């Protein structure tokens, strides 16, 4: 198979303002996706829209806010959404397949491997996997937050060639162009820095552009896994092909990184850290620049109650998360030997291996 392209479409692109599906827009996007598919690409669609599609059908006058109401609307809307996509793909002789995922699926290595094998088989059979969050069972603490994030995780999982996130803005601007006509569009980003995230907006920001920050954060997750990402507008015929070909109406996020093994993806993006370890500058350099393991001598502070085999986040002394790893120590053991050299550690505690985090069980997030 040729390269795989993951396309994310938000609910506002395929639903009407008053609720319900916009079948005309679904027909448009389906034709665009079918065009990519006809060129030999493996195509995976990550779509929102279940709640918006279902709330009027179930009898709500406006989009519900209570969790159980949204879950009820999603239960109805997801069936309508899939039926609409399947009807449209049938026009091109294509078969759509539904995959509903939750955060728990990604945090469990066995379950995410099963999901990966299913998706690979569907792509081998030239079907179109259509992925959405399982809103009928997801709760607040287990939700992805948005399908932008979900699309990045899926792109990493299947080692996609490219992620295309469709939005109502034609890319990232230095400021909100709806408020400042002098705002400058950023055509290409080589590295997603904190400054880029600030431009995209967020809590307390006055320059947020229609949920752009979540899309840039998704691009950061994707590019860390070696996935080139496009964020922009696909409104007219042929524009999805343009986006995939490198001259779409949006911003491209490049990466020099390589795709990550499933184990590293799980560690970096899906695992649930059970605590934090703060390290000094020497340990930070050893982990990030020298490919070394984390030893007790570099530890400054710990938080949390973790055990051998748990995942912890590692922070520098400025409080910035620099990576994650699987610990070999109990939390109390790390606390007891923090800052000590190897000989002193051996005198104080009995551990099977000296490394708190071995370099093979580590992933950098900087």
The arithmetic mean of pLDDT across residues 296-323, rounded, is 95
| Pairing of the two strands 4-9 and 162-166 | parallel
Geometric angle at alpha carbon 86, from 85 and 90, rounded to 5°: 120
Is there a shared CATH topology between the 4-261 domain and the 273-364 domain? Answer: no
Q: Does the annotation flag 48 for ligand binding?
A: yes
CA–centroid distance for 341 within its chain: 39
CATH topology for the 273-364 domain: 2.30.130
Is 8 marked as a binding-site residue? yes
209 is in an annotated binding site: yes
pLDDT of residue 106: 81
What's the CA gap between 156 and 171, in Å, rounded? 22
366 is an annotated ligand-binding site residue: no
pLDDT greater at residue 143 or residue 304: 304
The topology (CATH level 3) of 4-261 is: Carbamate kinase (3.40.1160)
| Domain extent listing, the chain | 4-261, 273-364
Whether 145 shows a pLDDT value over 90: the answer reads no
Cβ proximity of 347 and 310 under 8 Å: no
Is residue 210 marked as binding? yes
168 annotated as belonging to a binding site for a ligand:
yes
212 is in an annotated binding site: yes
pLDDT (0 to 100) of residue 206: 31
Q: Which residues contact 295 (CB under 8 A, 6 or more apart)?
A: 283, 342, 354, 355, 356
Could you tell me the CA-to-CA distances from 331 to 184, 286, 324 in Å, in that order?
A: 49, 22, 15
- Would you say 167 is a known binding-site residue? yes
Residue 213 assigned as binding residue: yes
Q: What is the pLDDT of residues 257-277, one digit of tens each?
A: 777 777 787 788 878 899 999
Rg (CA), the chain: 22
């Amino acid at each position: 198979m040729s390269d795989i392209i993951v396309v994310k479409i938000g609910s506002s692109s395929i639903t009407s303002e008053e609720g319900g599906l916009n079948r005309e827009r679904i027909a448009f996007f389906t034709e665009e996706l079918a065009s990519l598919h006809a060129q030999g690409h493996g195509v995976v669609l990550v779509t929102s829209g279940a709640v918006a599609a279902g709330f009027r059908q179930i009898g709500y006058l406006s989009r519900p806010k209570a969790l159980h109401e949204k879950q009820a609307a999603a239960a109805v809307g997801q069936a309508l959404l899939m039926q609409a996509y399947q009807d449209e793909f049938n026009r091109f002789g294509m078969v759509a397949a539904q995959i509903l995922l939750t955060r728990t699926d990604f945090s469990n290595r066995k379950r995410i491997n099963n999901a990966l094998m299913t998706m690979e088989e569907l792509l081998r059979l030239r079907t179109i996997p259509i992925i959405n969050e399982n809103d009928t069972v997801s709760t607040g603490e287990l939700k992805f937050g948005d399908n932008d994030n979900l699309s990045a995780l899926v792109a990493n999982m299947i080692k996609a060639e490219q992620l295309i996130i469709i939005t109502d803005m034609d890319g990232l601007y230095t400021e909100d162009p709806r408020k400042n006509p002098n705002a400058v569009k950023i055509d290409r980003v080589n590295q997603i820095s904190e400054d880029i995230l600030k431009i995209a907006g967020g809590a307390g920001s006055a320059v947020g552009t229609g949920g752009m920050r979540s899309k840039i954060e998704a691009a950061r997750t994707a590019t860390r896994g070696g996935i080139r990402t496009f964020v922009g507008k696909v409104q007219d015929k042929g524009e999805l092909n343009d986006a995939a070909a490198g001259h779409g109406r949006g911003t491209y996020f490049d990466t020099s990184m390589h795709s990550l093994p499933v184990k590293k993806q799980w560690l970096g993006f899906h695992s649930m850290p059970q605590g934090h370890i703060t390290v000094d500058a020497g340990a930070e350099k050893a982990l990030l620049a020298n490919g070394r393991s984390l030893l007790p001598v570099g530890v400054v502070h710990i938080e949390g109650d973790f055990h051998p085999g748990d995942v912890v986040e590692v922070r520098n002394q400025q409080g910035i998360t620099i990576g994650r790893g699987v610990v070999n120590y109990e939390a109390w053991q790390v606390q007891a030997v923090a800052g000590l050299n190897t000989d002193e550690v051996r005198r104080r505690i009995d551990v099977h291996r000296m490394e708190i985090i071995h370099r093979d069980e580590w992933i950098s997030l900087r």
